[in-house]
Structure 1
Amino acid sequence: MKKKPKKSRSVLKKQAIKKRKRKPSSNRWRVTRLLFSFSLKFSCLLAGLVLISLLFLYLYENLLTSPYIRLERVIVRGVDEKLRHTLLKMSELKPDTSLLAVHLDELKQRIEKHPWIRSVNLEKRFPHTLVIKAEKEKPCAIVIMGNMHYMNRWGKIFRRVDMTAHMDFPLVTGISKNGSDREKQLQWTAHVLRVLEAENGSLSLAQLSEIHVEKSGQISLYFLSLPAVIELEGPQLEEKMEDLKRLVKHLKRTGRIQMVKRINLNYREGAVVSYKNDGVVS
């Protein structure tokens, strides 16, 4: 009776060994099943993305040919009628173009190549309108540098002067042909012009005849209403302006303004006035 349990134990051991031997194949099957499930899900996701992309392309192609967003009206603001026609020609926009197909960055670059255009802002107004807001260059002076060129209030030379065009602007002389020197001189000139824009009377921009600019930064100002040349360093004019106005007012009141040859502002305190008879007063 005691020997029978031994046999049952040996049978149980054999079954346990068989179960243990089945584990590797069971694990492989589980891994294979997981990989298959992942591959299936990924394939479904990829197929879904492809279908969405194809649907988007189909809709986009239909929109490009749709009459509901066709470009029918172009509004150009900020320029006169003659320049408006020129800008429309430069834009190369076709009447049957879809508003969706208009690339604003490319169009902006094309229009801003015009020498009289400083900047352009574009706006699409669906379904049929494109708005072009152009800022036209405004000459502030004429730079003599071999030829004559218009310069704006920021010191940028933007166009050669047509001899038949309007030329009632102050002249800028002494500008160097060297790039770095020229840039500095133009910036000093622009600073002077902006200071004089805020003035009235004999020292206003309207009365300025010529600005002569040296490489060193020395600037000479010639005004229509003053017989004297005013000398100063480029950045000094703004801080010296009130002193200069008081000095000119004093010279006019004392009747000596017509005798003045030069007013030199290159001094920390006050100015030096040179007279035509070689007299100097500081």
Structure 2
Amino acid sequence: MYLTKYNRANKKFHKKNNRMKNNKGIYGGIIRFLKLAIIIVSIVPTLYFIDRGYNFLNRSVNLDSFFTVRNVKIKGNTFISMDELSHYLKGVQGKSILSVNLKGVANKIKNHPWVRDVSVRRELPGTIWVDVLERTPAVYVNTDSKLYIADEEGVILGNNSGELLRLPVVYGIDISGIKSGGKSREEGLKSAIEVKRVLTSIPWIDLTTTGIEVGERSQIVLHLKGYRIKLGRGGYQEKLQRFYNIVKNLQDRDIPYKEVDLRFENQVIVKTLDT
């Protein structure tokens, strides 16, 4: 009986041992599967990012050509030609728009004597805009038998080499030592420019046939067709209003005149043609 019982127990033990071996085999397979899955999961994102990086680099090469400056557009220039401005824009076209030094380009353009201010901006993907603010020509200045243009601030814009502008000519000012773009400090020129501003508001005065003579202590004499007006210094608006009133009276009385002196307050001296 004992041996019989022992054999049955031994058989049970071997069955149990076999089941454990089978379980270990199953667990081992599961673990190997999980390890493989982990490896695959870690490799897939790596391959994905490698692919993305390649595509990004490929697009970057295309972006360089996409953001190339193809157009340079200029506005605001009336007196300055496109050819003159193109001199300051060399090397911009064909360059990457993101690498263009906008401030550097603007500073170059400001070297032109006619440029008062300028702004340069990008318009993606490939256009550079140049917005020019030109100086306003005010008068011609006769120096050494040459005509030079001065703006409202007394900046010399250069000699007149283009078409004639509807401006008066200033005499008696020496600007021979001032280069184009330089500013004259002459009080006489400031006075002449102020007179020109007043004359602009008088419709019957033809500026193209008007001369502004600057004498000692910046005394101003206007030379018009057939007569002259002594304005002296300052108060030009009021003096020219007096001139208008007296001339109307002379014309109504059919009195020809060659000179009107307005230098003195509350007084007008008229020289007629027969005096």
User: TM-score, normalization: structure 1?
Assistant: 0.64
Q: Deviations over 1:149-168 (max 9, x none)?
A: 11223332211123x74366
2:91 aligned partner: 93
What displacement does 1:267 show? Answer: 1.5
- 1:233–1:123 CA distance, 2 compared to 1 (3 A): farther
Report whether the alignment pairs 1:275 with 2:272: yes
Aligned to 1:235, the other structure's residue is in SS state coil
2:108 aligned partner: 110
Distance 2:267 2:86 in 1: 56
State whether residues 181 and 215 of structure 1, in contact with CA within 8 Å, keep that contact through their aligned partners in structure 2.
no
Distance 2:262 2:137 in 1: 28
What displacement does 1:223 show? Answer: 1.5
Aligned to 1:110, the other structure's residue is in SS state helix
Distance 2:158 2:142 in 1: 12
Aligned to 2:217, the other structure's residue is in SS state coil
- 1:153–1:81 CA distance, 2 compared to 1 (3 A): closer
What displacement does 1:200 show? Answer: 0.6
Q: Which amino acid is the alignment partner of residue 109 of structure 2?
A: I
What displacement does 1:68 show? Answer: 4.3
1:197 aligned partner: 200
What displacement does 1:261 show? Answer: 2.4
1:17 aligned partner: none
Structure 1, unmatched stretches of 5+, are 1-61
- 1:111–1:233 CA distance, 2 compared to 1 (3 A): same
Aligned to 2:137, the other structure's residue is in SS state coil
State whether residues 189 and 234 of structure 1, in contact with CA within 8 Å, keep that contact through their aligned partners in structure 2.
no
Among 51, 57, 75, the alignment partner of 1:77 is 75
1:237 aligned partner: 236
Q: How does 1:1-282 map to 2 (within 5 A)?
A: 66-79=64-77, 83-146=81-144, 147-162=146-161, 165-166=163-164, 169-176=167-174, 183-201=186-204, 204-206=205-207, 208-224=209-225, 227-256=226-255, 258=256, 260-278=257-275
Distance 1:237 1:271 in 2: 14
User: TM-score, normalization: structure 2?
Assistant: 0.66
State whether residues 72 and 128 of structure 1, in contact with CA within 8 Å, keep that contact through their aligned partners in structure 2.
yes
Aligned to 2:254, the other structure's residue is in SS state coil
Structure 2, unmatched stretches of 5+, are 1-59
What displacement does 1:255 show? Answer: 0.7
State whether residues 264 and 271 of structure 1, in contact with CA within 8 Å, keep that contact through their aligned partners in structure 2.
yes
What displacement does 1:252 show? Answer: 1.1
Structure having the higher Rg: 2
Distance 1:80 1:221 in 2: 29
- 1:232–1:128 CA distance, 2 compared to 1 (3 A): same
State whether residues 192 and 234 of structure 1, in contact with CA within 8 Å, keep that contact through their aligned partners in structure 2.
no
What displacement does 1:90 show? Answer: 2.0
Aligned to 1:199, the other structure's residue is in SS state coil
State whether residues 71 and 97 of structure 1, in contact with CA within 8 Å, keep that contact through their aligned partners in structure 2.
yes
Distance 1:185 1:72 in 2: 49
Distance 1:148 1:276 in 2: 31
State whether residues 189 and 213 of structure 1, in contact with CA within 8 Å, keep that contact through their aligned partners in structure 2.
yes
What do you get for the CA RMSD once the two structures are aligned?
A: 3.0
State whether residues 156 and 186 of structure 1, in contact with CA within 8 Å, keep that contact through their aligned partners in structure 2.
no
What is the percentage of aligned positions where both structures have the same residue? 22
Q: Which amino acid is the alignment partner of residue 199 of structure 1?
A: I
Question: When the two structures are aligned, how many residues end up with a matched partner?
Answer: 209
State whether residues 172 and 210 of structure 1, in contact with CA within 8 Å, keep that contact through their aligned partners in structure 2.
yes
What displacement does 1:126 show? Answer: 2.7
- 1:120–1:101 CA distance, 2 compared to 1 (3 A): same
Aligned to 1:155, the other structure's residue is in SS state coil
State whether residues 230 and 264 of structure 1, in contact with CA within 8 Å, keep that contact through their aligned partners in structure 2.
yes
- 1:95–1:217 CA distance, 2 compared to 1 (3 A): closer
Aligned to 1:194, the other structure's residue is in SS state helix
- 1:215–1:125 CA distance, 2 compared to 1 (3 A): farther
